Structure 1
Amino acid sequence: MSTSTMNPETADRSRRALAAEQAASLAATNDWAHVDKDRVHRDWHELYGEIAAAITAGAQPRDEAVQELVDRHYAIASRFYAPSRDAYLGMALLYAEDDAMRDWHNSYHPDMVEFLGAAMMRYAETRL
């Protein structure tokens, strides 16, 4: 399963959840003033390098090792706020649908957005 095959109602609900949860978190935290954004970007850079290597090595989004990498992704995202299942799915959609986000993620590996989206969907199904 990938974000492109997500049920349209689930996709809409997920986009709305992401927008609502981010807006509430931004308002409650003075635009995420509590987050060390430089550290977050360094941690994501390291993680995305590991995910790119996993893709190159033939890993699958459902693999336990990949799900552990996605657990780290969720933990990094949770430094801002802990996304609900729907909001986390919305984040996967954002990566696929926003040109700048897609290009940035795919700069690590041309299949990053598709692979990470599928892995995030699996993570949301089984752990959130």
Structure 2
Amino acid sequence: MEWSIQDIARLAGTTSRTLRHYDDVGLLKPSRIGSNGYRYYDQAALVRLQRILLLRELGLGLPAIAEVLEGQKDTAKALQTHLSWLRQEQQRLGRQIQSVETTIRKMKEGEPLMADEILDGFDNSQYEQEVVERWGREAYDKSNREWAALGKERQRELMAEQDRVARALAEASVRGEDTASDEVQALVRRHYAWVSFFWEPNREAYINLGEMYVADPRFTAHYDQHAKGAARFIRDAMRVFAEKNLS
């Protein structure tokens, strides 16, 4: 089966112009171009478009999406990962909807409001399973306890430090700095100190964390928002730091 560019644009809620742009930048090629000049797309092209749209939902720009698609050749495996994220988001939104509905109902009926009902769905518990699978239950529980004990002001300070380091590393990547330079490695040391507040990784774990910054589109989007390719630059700099300083 195949579909015309007009059909695909309508079904995807986009425009023919956008699809032609995807073709121009090499992101989504039509399966064939008819004698009338129209672009036609087969099932493989539709699956690729689905992945593009999912990655756009995560906030990635087109260059970053191209890198992700190039690096993930196993389409079924990549879609399984996307499906897991979507189910987590569905659960989170479902909890938030129920929470807001409960708040509205109780306010209308004059019932007392319960904090656990009002705030249900607004925490980070949807990431618990993923964190536990990656680093273990003990690391998750320890991180949660220490984070909660900080207080809001200290939490904001830590997040601001993470953002400062990420921006500085992105700027270094734009300048073409060597990942092994003293300046870059000083920034990575600050990054390692920030990570170690939650969990102190050894050499292998810190290298794997850097690899995740590139392999996981959520992390890639976070770092590449500062500069294209920043996630890869930071990964490479983390590897240099780990091999030199960690055991």
Instruction: Give the alignment's TM-score, normalised by structure 2.
Output: 0.41
Q: What count of residue pairs does the alignment treat as equivalent?
A: 111
Choose the corresponding residue for 1:51, options 158, 169, 172. 169
Gaps spanning 5+ residues in structure 1: where? 5-17
- What is the distance in 2 between the residues matched to 1:100 and 1:61? 23
Per-residue deviation at 1:29?
4.6
Residue 27 in structure 1 maps to residue 141 in structure 2: yes
Change (3 A) 1:47 1:29: closer
Change (3 A) 1:91 1:29: closer
Per-residue deviation at 1:20?
2.6
Per-residue deviation at 1:111?
1.4
Aligned amino acid, residue 135 of structure 2: A
Residue 63 in structure 1 maps to residue 178 in structure 2: no
Checking the alignment, whether the CA contact within 8 Å between 2:162 and 2:194 is kept in structure 1 is yes
Between stretches 49-58 and 71-80, larger displacement belongs to 49-58
Gaps spanning 5+ residues in structure 2: where? 1-70, 72-132
Q: Which has the higher contact order (CA 8 A, sep 6+)?
A: 1
Per-residue deviation at 1:50?
1.2
Report percent identity of matched pairs: 25
- What is the distance in 2 between the residues matched to 1:57 and 1:39? 27
Residue 100 in structure 1 maps to residue 215 in structure 2: no
Residue 113 in structure 1 maps to residue 231 in structure 2: yes
- What is the distance in 2 between the residues matched to 1:60 and 1:53? 12
Aligned amino acid, residue 175 of structure 2: A
Aligned amino acid, residue 220 of structure 2: R
**Which digits, 9 at most, give the CA deviation of each residue in 1:39-59, with x for residues without a partner?**
222111111121122122220
Other structure's SS at 1:115 match:
helix
Cα RMSD between the aligned structures? 2.0
Change (3 A) 1:75 1:29: closer
Q: Could you tell me which residue of structure 2 aligns to residue 80 of structure 1?
A: 198
Change (3 A) 1:70 1:30: closer
Instruction: Give the alignment's TM-score, normalised by structure 1.
Output: 0.76
